[in-house]
Structure 1
Amino acid sequence: MSAAETTTAEVPPARPSPPPRSAAKGGGADRRHPRRDGGRPGGTRGAAAVPWALLAPCLLVLVLVLGYPLVRLVTLSFQEFGQSQLWGFKPAQAVGFDNFSKVLGDGEFWAVVLRTVVFAAGSVIVTMVLGMLVALLLQRVSGWVKTLVNIALVASWGMPVIVATTIYKWMFDSDYGVLNYLLSKLPGVDVIGHNWFASGPQGLAVIMLLVVWGAVPFVVITLTAGLTQVPRELEEAARLDGASSWGVFRHVTVPVLKPVLVMLTTLSVIWDMGVFPQVFVMRGGHPEAEFQLLTTYSYDRAFVVNDYGGGSAIALLTVVLLLGVVAVYMRQMLKIGDVE
């Protein structure tokens, strides 16, 4: 037997090294098999509770600020509540749906509803059209012009409603209004002393102009941000296929902006149907019958006629009408989500 064979036979085989202490305690198994819950305490249940915990303070404030007035509004709408009940001379009596029956059976109420719908529809259409035109125009101007326009938009948007209404009231004044003066400078035009509020349609048109002036900045800023998300490649491809500018806008820009347009239209409808200070201040706190909208009509019924139950019923019907608008909005957003 040779020496090399003797040495090889006498050397024992190498023993495998022991695993690290961390692996022996399960650390290696944790690394090889990560936890399905992401390593968070409580797993999925704890992760689902985090958003609600963050929203809880805001929801609590909303319940405290809006909950009691809404409950009180619903309660008054089912009661006979006038000046005697307000001062405590008589207790409030439940009358069921009598207040709603009186309101819904009143022809004046339906005239106010029609006037409000027409006013809101006109305001929304003009606001959206002007907002889209200005937003598209801002895509084609130089940077300093865009900056100046944005500053002007933010300044007009930040102006208080009462201040803007007072300025418009002065501009359209029959005796000292600057609009009558400027229009009279045109050849063949003489409107000196013209009263723009002599009739309801003219006066509401002026108020509509005020509402549009205050709403356009928000629409322009939002649509300008939305236009930055329109892929330029799609627009260029459409132009190469022979599409006109209107075709590119209709088949490329509008579909991309559809979620933004639906949101802006819904918000505009809600805001324009809830117009109150513009009409109230423009008419000196006493809107005539042909200037009444749902908000001012409810206010007059409650605080001028002292029929708080009837005024609450009108306000609650207005809320229900606006909830219908919100339902249409949610349905459209769900359809957009399903398509995407």
Structure 2
Amino acid sequence: MSSSTVSLRQGAPRPAGRRGPRFGAFEPWFYLAPAFIVLIGLLGYPIFQLVNISLYDYRQAQVSGAAPLEFTGLGNYQQLLSDPQFWAVLGNTVLFAGFCVVITILVGGWLAVLATRLRPWVRTLLFVVSMGAWATPAVTGSAVWLFLFDPTLGLVNKTLVALGLHAFDGYSWTYDKWSAFGLVASEVVWCSFPFVMVTVYAGIQAIPTEVIEAARLDGASMGQIARTIMLPMLRPIMMIVIIQSIIWDFKIFSQIYIMTSGGGVAGQNLVINVYSYQQAFAASLYGLGSALGVIMTVILMAVTLVYLRLIKKDGEAL
């Protein structure tokens, strides 16, 4: 009898590192299980409840138990899609978020490039000041912005009048639809550009200096270097920054609600988050508000899937 047969009969343990084929197939999922459990608890269950409530006529009477729940299926979604105000609010949200994203990327990217050409102490001062803007809570920033643009006491109006622009004497920035959106957008950009600036600056620092020096020796200008060398190498970072900015700006609530007093004159400055809040809590139409939340979640998931598809198309590791 061979020694190997004897060891098998005696129940000798298998060599370390050798596992059965079934365990090997499920081994990655075994290590990911704790993270999946946390995600299901923090995200899966709330999303399930959001979708569930959106399928019912759920109002204050149902919450208090004075009336039974009435299943409406897709009734809340049909009501929203046939409501012209919903489409107006969605248009406001897309235009507002798109404008904020573009300006934030331009300002943050330009400052990141500028930071590479500043002296170390000036660059440090720029980053410290910018981080102060980024760390300011949305409620505090909105209150400060409102005070600066106050019609009678605001520093901005007083400065413009002192420069000879008397049309801004007592001018209300929140009365007109587009000036109100511009006011809110300026505050959003002010507290968002530091993230773009720091991220893009870190990406620029990761670019090999030899590549840029070689381009300079070949006679390329700074604009040509930025367009043909830096931007292509920064594309993965820029994609992350853009998607993050879209998600953040699409979900704006505090700035709009505070600076336009709940959505502006006759709701002209409503965005989806504020509109959902009005329907769910002000009007106690919890089912309708949940349907708005589901629609917003679907839109943001679609944006994220587009981002992942672009990454996969470029051959980058997920």
Distance 1:192 1:134, change over 3 A: same
Q: Give the match for residue 114 of structure 1.
A: 91
Amino acid of the structure 1 residue aligned with 2:285? D
Amino acid of the structure 2 residue aligned with 1:308? Y
Amino acid of the structure 1 residue aligned with 2:218? D
1: CA distance, partners of 2:214 / 2:246: 35
Amino acid of the structure 2 residue aligned with 1:303? F
Q: State whether structure 2 residue 304 is matched by structure 1 residue 326.
A: yes
2:104 to 104, 118, 127: 127
Q: What is the CA deviation profile of residues 252-301 of structure 1, one whole-angstrom value per residue up to 9, with x for unaligned ones? A: 00011000000000010011000001111223346441110010111111
More moved, 263-272 vs 156-165: 156-165
Residue 175 of structure 1 and its aligned partner are, at CA, apart by 1.8
Gapped runs of 5+ residues in structure 1? 1-24, 26-37
2: CA distance, partners of 1:166 / 1:237: 49
Residue 320 of structure 1 and its aligned partner are, at CA, apart by 0.8
- Which one has a bigger Cα radius of gyration? 1
Q: Give the match for residue 214 of structure 1.
A: 191
8 Å contact kept, 1:259–1:336: no
1: CA distance, partners of 2:158 / 2:142: 19
2: CA distance, partners of 1:91 / 1:239: 74
RMSD: 2.4
Amino acid of the structure 2 residue aligned with 1:316? V
Matched position secondary structure for 1:291: coil
Matched position secondary structure for 2:314: helix
How many residues get paired? 304
Distance 1:54 1:175, change over 3 A: farther
Q: State whether structure 2 residue 215 is matched by structure 1 residue 266.
A: no
Q: Give the match for residue 301 of structure 1.
A: 279
Q: What is the CA deviation profile of residues 87-117 of structure 1, one whole-angstrom value per residue up to 9, with x for unaligned ones? A: 1111111111111111011111111111111
Distance 1:92 1:171, change over 3 A: same
Q: Give the match for residue 8 of structure 2.
A: none
Gapped runs of 5+ residues in structure 2? 4-14
2: CA distance, partners of 1:55 / 1:302: 36
1:136 to 113, 118, 123: 113
Q: What is the CA deviation profile of residues 14-50 of structure 1, one whole-angstrom value per residue up to 9, with x for unaligned ones? A: xxxxxxxxxxx9xxxxxxxxxxxx9646499889978
2: CA distance, partners of 1:280 / 1:224: 33
2: CA distance, partners of 1:48 / 1:256: 37
Alignment of 1:90-169 (within 5 A): 90-169=67-146
Residue 131 of structure 1 and its aligned partner are, at CA, apart by 0.5
Distance 1:39 1:252, change over 3 A: farther
Distance 1:234 1:305, change over 3 A: same
Q: Give the match for residue 52 of structure 2.
A: 75
Residue 189 of structure 1 and its aligned partner are, at CA, apart by 4.2
Alignment of 1:27-46 (within 5 A): 40=17, 42=19
2: CA distance, partners of 1:53 / 1:146: 46
